[in-house]
Amino acid sequence: MISGDIYQIKYSEENMIYYKTFGKQGNKTLVLGSSLGTSSNMWSNIIDDLAQKFFVVAFDTRGHGQSQSLGLESSSVDQYAQDVIDILDNLKIKTFSYAGLSLGGAIGQILAIKFPERVERLILCCTAAKFGEPAFWHDRADKVLKQGLNAILEATKSRWYTPGTAESDPFAQSLLDELLTYDPVGYANTCKAVADFDVRTQLSEIKCPTLAIAGTDDLSTPVFVMQELVSQIPRAELVAIQGAAHIGNVEKPEAFKKAILNFA
């Protein structure tokens, strides 16, 4: 595995956004955004190959990974997108391509809507313009605050992966193990941010070329949900990866990697 360089943007002595860079900075920039409940480690099974072509920037969303301290206060997907801009400003990068999965895809949609002059190409993986009804996310937030993250572990596993994957794939299991290290407050606040996210009426504002990657076995954002997303984005196309569940790059890394490299 290529060793990434680790950086941070300091908002205060305690609160920082962490990100890693991989590859040669002279190459085109590809930013990677991760799902709810994962850090930038989610991409580690394909990041080496992506870094052969791109200067890759992978960040830990507030409340996740090494950015957990910034998740202990209420926030929004708009703020997560602004964090990405702050990171790229810190690196003095003006334009970039962006690939995000689930929550990471929501962040990508906000970036393309609010900062169209900066996003060259957009890759939306296993995501949506609205993630179901807000009550679901508020109930999940309440559950982890009262019972801890272990209370949602089995349900999360069944949505992230197809049956048996976690038991047979150490990388898949490592992401579940990482989830249990998170502060329930940060996770709950992210759930509330997801509950408020809804850009269905703004999708036509996304003008950059867009690739949507869906998993045929994804229970959280099924293919038909991503088809609806693509139908509203003017320059979008859809690829469905056979046998992939919600964190599709874990189970089908070659297919995801190929789709990203061919498009970005």
pLDDT in tens, 30-41: 999 999 999 999
The dihedrals phi and psi of 129, each to the nearest 5 degrees, come to -85, -15
| Residue 144 reports pLDDT greater than 70 | yes
pLDDT in tens, 61-115: 999 999 988 878 889 999 999 999 999 999 999 999 999 999 999 999 999 999 9
Say what the pTM is: 0.95
> What is the pairing mode between strands 236-241 and 210-215?
parallel
The predicted structure's pLDDT at residue 16: 78
The dihedrals phi and psi of 218, each to the nearest 5 degrees, come to -80, 115
Tokens of 219: 């229970």
pLDDT confidence tier of residue 2, bands split at 50, 70 and 90: very low
CA distance 172 to 146: 26
Q: What sign does the dihedral 176-177-182-188 (CA atoms) show?
A: positive
Domains and CATH numbers, the chain: 5-263 (3.40.50.1820)
Estimate the share of the chain in helix, then strand, then coil, as percent rounded to the nearest 5. Answer: 45, 20, 35
CA distance 33 to 141: 21
The dihedrals phi and psi of 164, each to the nearest 5 degrees, come to 90, -15
Count the residues in the chain.
Answer: 264
